[in-house]
Structure 1
Amino acid sequence: MRLASTGIRYAALALAVLLTACAPMRRAAVDEGGVSSRLRIEVSYAAGLVPGPLAGRLFLGISPSADPEPRIAAYNSARQRDGRVPFFATDVADVEPGETMVIDAAADGYPYARLGELPSGDYWVQALLHVYTEYRRRDGHVVWAPQDQWEGQRWAFSPGNLISAPQRVRVDPGSDTPIQLELTGEIPPIETPPDTAWVRRVKIRSRILSDWWGHPMYLGAVVLLPRGYDESPEMRYPVVFEADHFKLEPAFGFTAEPPSGEPQLFAQMMRESGGMRESGYDFQRAWTGDDFPRLIAVTIQHPTPFFDDSYGLNSANNGPYGDAIHQE
């Protein structure tokens, strides 16, 4: 037993020595592969821009072009999952004006998981702080999340988010020299399209959701009206409710603009529908015609702090959206 025990101890010692000797070689291989990074992107926001402290998600868009802005190009690239425009992000909290926030090797990224994987080169870069709101919910949880500003939870466009001016810089993950950016701008409020004879918009403060989230919460609707609606206020109509993601546009793509503005998108829609899907412009022409059935189409807007729509139901995570939509 003593010999066996001694043998085990020697084997364990030999294994420890072997692992210790191999560890530097493993780190060097990672470095040579470009995965690790010493680069820091240091970001602050200007004093007087907004009151601090702030919490949120700090984004860095890295684009070969300044048009569109890197934050927008990165967002669109992620939505399309094409990986053409990299971005990186990290959470920040209790940040005062002038205080440094950092994007470094620990930040998450797409399509490169880490900053060290990004090829060195000259890029246009832009920082964005997706500002979070504190919610003290009725279920006892305290949650920090982005309050939708009627943009449909699109961080690159959300009003109140802070942005830096796009800058062209040399990005080298192996460099010790930090890149310094300052957030000097704030994304302005969304411009809601005006009401027309065909389309009306409604937005209300939801008592049910506000009580549950501990913060003002809103529901809305885009209402598509039938021909002759204003001339016959006593008329009653059947209603079609469209369940969709958040949007400011009316149901079924109703628009007076011909589809030539987005030919590629329309062509893709036609392919996906087997050539059976009409454009919103064609639908508008039918809807406003004399022979189209008279009805009302309602698109409900119910963004949450977690997504651009609640799926229209109650949940332990999102709260009583089903009750709010049906009762309010």
Structure 2
Amino acid sequence: MIFLATLFSGLCAAAQSFSVTFPSALSAQPLDGRVLLVLSTDDSDEPRNQINDTPKTQMVFGVTVDGWKPGQPVTVDENAFGYPVRSLKDVPPGEYTVQAVLNKYETFHRADGKVIKLHMDQGEGQHWNISPGNLMSKPAKITLKAGGAAIAISLDKEIPPIPKAKDTKYIRHIKIQSAVLTKFWGRPMFLSAIVLVPAGFDEHADAHFPLIIFHDHFVDGFDDFRTEPPDPNLKPVYSDRFHLAGYNRIQQEEAYKFYQQWISPKFPRVLIVKIQHANPYYDDSYAVDSANVGPYGEAIETELIPAIEKQFRGLGTGWSRFVYGGSTGGWESLAVQIFYPDHYNGSFAACPDPIDFHEYTNIDLYDDKNAFYLYGAHKQVEQPSMRDYLGHTFITTKQINEYELALGDHGRSGEQFDIWQAVYGPVGKDGYPQPIFNKETGEIDHNVAEYWRQHYDLEHILETNWATLGPKLQGKIHIYVGSDDTYFLNNAVYRMEDFLKSTTNPPYDGEVTYGPRAEHCWNGDPTLPNAYSRLHYNTMYLPKILDRIEKTAPAGADLTSWRY
């Protein structure tokens, strides 16, 4: 038995390390960042593009470097934090493709006196594997073996810049430097937006238009707007997420249909805007002011939106502005309507991120002791983080936080739980976000949870302030979610609905709707399955928006210049 145990240990423990360097030709100066070493058994793509939170992920191991000099070796060994395999010593010997990436950090001297190091977005939406300027190695075939010598890897390539997007007849771009964000971060900070202008925009120079903010993750274009017919040679691809064959073809078909609607004579003439607000923590700021991420709410509301309305002839009034979006965009749509109730005339929030932290996905931040486990009298059960409508678990909350820990310490993964922590939480003593829970043990910090409750728990804010907020929000709140949301986001919506139904003086007069058996991110059309409904954000809310404008526009408002 002892012999078998020893043999098994020898077979399963590669215990081999890697020695990573970069040449002075790529940087003569020392660099800070996170070295991410990827091992893959899948030859379909480069290893750096195969790390994710799905069961198909390959392996990544992370090490933080400070003042790393050219030519100086950095060792990635069994002490590096790994995902989904915790340590290199647990990787079985065998054939792998290896690739390493340095996710560069910049030093920020913030206005609050904190000096921290983070990766600054380079126009890619905070994705370490494609961020311009990051260093990487060429993929290489290796053989891992127990007790083998350290494998040398050179980061001898640099990810190239992303070409600047060009304006077209319908898609325009705007970029401004934000004064308030520049002051907060201690370096120039910018906000951008992609604007879908209506047919006849240039010809009708005297027209002014309602403005619709389509909140979303970082996007580099309107992929849901296509002026060319679908590509007949496009090979259909099965979507694991939506359980649908040929979803890529459906996307093209629906995007082309939207274009045909957009240019039709009777289609509403409005501006649809997607904001680009990637930041040092994530691909998106959550569009609110935050102690860690900065005053993005103020910047968007008082700097970017007025600039958009000036350049693209928006009507520039609260009654003529609306917001919609799903997931992160769903939370943002509801949050900005609540935090800036006079700025918008309606919010359409699909599958919003947790809007009540009693149901932070499926964690009760106020009453639970641990974010990873459900405790019984004599056992603990690890809790899921992702599922399908049949209840199959794809990853647990513990595992998804291990994924984030591999990508970055101090909340620097650029992923979901870390950005929630950065946006909603206070600043820690070290200048980084104060953790809401221990990412290795799951133990919840209830003092931090109370801070979250008072500042960003949307249900709590509504319930506490309905006497003043209610009159400004009546008829403006619309929430849609699948009853089997992939990330359990329906749980918080149930609680929000219970409160909204109880409102009086005034009643909320909005809607909360559930899609039976629908996963993430169902957005409210009962006639469409989940995958299709995601493609209709830009059309399905417009009748409700136009009806709201007709009912609420003040006397003398411009209801004609944009109707041509």
TM-score class, shorter-chain normalisation, is 0.7 to 0.9
Identity %: 37
Q: How does 1:34-183 map to 2 (within 5 A)?
A: 38-72=15-49, 74-75=50-51, 78-79=52-53, 81-172=54-145, 174-183=146-155
Q: Which runs of 5+ in 2 are unaligned?
A: 304-564
Please say if residues 34 and 117 of structure 1, whose CA atoms lie closer than 8 Å, have aligned partners that are also in contact. no
Structure of larger gyration radius: 1
- Correspondence 1:279 to 2:254: yes
Taking a change above 3 Å as real, the CA distance of residues 238 and 34 of structure 1, as seen in their structure-2 partners, is farther
In structure 1, the partner of 2:294 is 319
Equivalent of 1:217 in 184, 189, 193: 189
Shift of 1:231: 0.8
User: Deviation digits for residues 5-28 of structure 1, max 9, x if unmatched?
Assistant: xxxxxxxxxxxxxxxxxxxx9xx8
Shift of 1:31: 8.3
CA distance in 1, matches of 2:289, 2:11: 46
- TM normalised by structure 2 equals 0.49
Shift of 1:65: 4.3
Secondary structure of the equivalent of 1:268? coil
Taking a change above 3 Å as real, the CA distance of residues 269 and 195 of structure 1, as seen in their structure-2 partners, is farther
Q: Which amino acid aligns with 2:242?
A: Q
Secondary structure of the equivalent of 1:323? helix
User: Deviation digits for residues 175-225 of structure 1, max 9, x if unmatched?
Assistant: 231110001111011123321000011122222111111122111000001
CA distance in 2, matches of 1:66, 1:54: 30
Higher relative contact order (CA 8 A, sep 6+): 1
Shift of 1:36: 5.8
Shift of 1:262: 6.1
CA distance in 2, matches of 1:68, 1:104: 24
In structure 2, the partner of 1:295 is 270
In structure 2, the partner of 1:264 is 238
Secondary structure of the equivalent of 2:85? coil
Shift of 1:261: 6.1
Shift of 1:256: 3.1
In structure 1, the partner of 2:426 is none
Taking a change above 3 Å as real, the CA distance of residues 164 and 213 of structure 1, as seen in their structure-2 partners, is same
Q: Which amino acid aligns with 1:68?
A: D
In structure 1, the partner of 2:205 is 233
Secondary structure of the equivalent of 2:103? strand
Q: Which amino acid aligns with 2:60?
A: F
CA distance in 2, matches of 1:248, 1:327: 23
Taking a change above 3 Å as real, the CA distance of residues 266 and 64 of structure 1, as seen in their structure-2 partners, is closer
User: Deviation digits for residues 88-146 of structure 1, max 9, x if unmatched?
Assistant: 11111110100011211111222211112222211111110000000010011111000
Secondary structure of the equivalent of 1:221? strand
Q: Which amino acid aligns with 1:61?
A: V
Taking a change above 3 Å as real, the CA distance of residues 267 and 321 of structure 1, as seen in their structure-2 partners, is closer
Taking a change above 3 Å as real, the CA distance of residues 261 and 230 of structure 1, as seen in their structure-2 partners, is farther
User: Deviation digits for residues 264-290 of structure 1, max 9, x if unmatched?
Assistant: 34992879xxxx998323222211222
Secondary structure of the equivalent of 1:279? helix
Please say if residues 224 and 297 of structure 1, whose CA atoms lie closer than 8 Å, have aligned partners that are also in contact. yes
Q: Which amino acid aligns with 1:183?
A: L
Please say if residues 149 and 159 of structure 1, whose CA atoms lie closer than 8 Å, have aligned partners that are also in contact. yes
Taking a change above 3 Å as real, the CA distance of residues 137 and 36 of structure 1, as seen in their structure-2 partners, is farther
Please say if residues 43 and 181 of structure 1, whose CA atoms lie closer than 8 Å, have aligned partners that are also in contact. yes
Q: Which amino acid aligns with 2:183?
A: D
Secondary structure of the equivalent of 1:132? strand
Shift of 1:327: 1.4
CA distance in 2, matches of 1:111, 1:103: 16
In structure 2, the partner of 1:253 is 224
Please say if residues 266 and 279 of structure 1, whose CA atoms lie closer than 8 Å, have aligned partners that are also in contact. no
Q: Which amino acid aligns with 1:137?
A: R
In structure 2, the partner of 1:12 is none
Taking a change above 3 Å as real, the CA distance of residues 105 and 37 of structure 1, as seen in their structure-2 partners, is farther
CA distance in 2, matches of 1:32, 1:186: 38
CA distance in 1, matches of 2:33, 2:241: 38
Please say if residues 181 and 295 of structure 2, whose CA atoms lie closer than 8 Å, have aligned partners that are also in contact. yes
Secondary structure of the equivalent of 1:325? helix
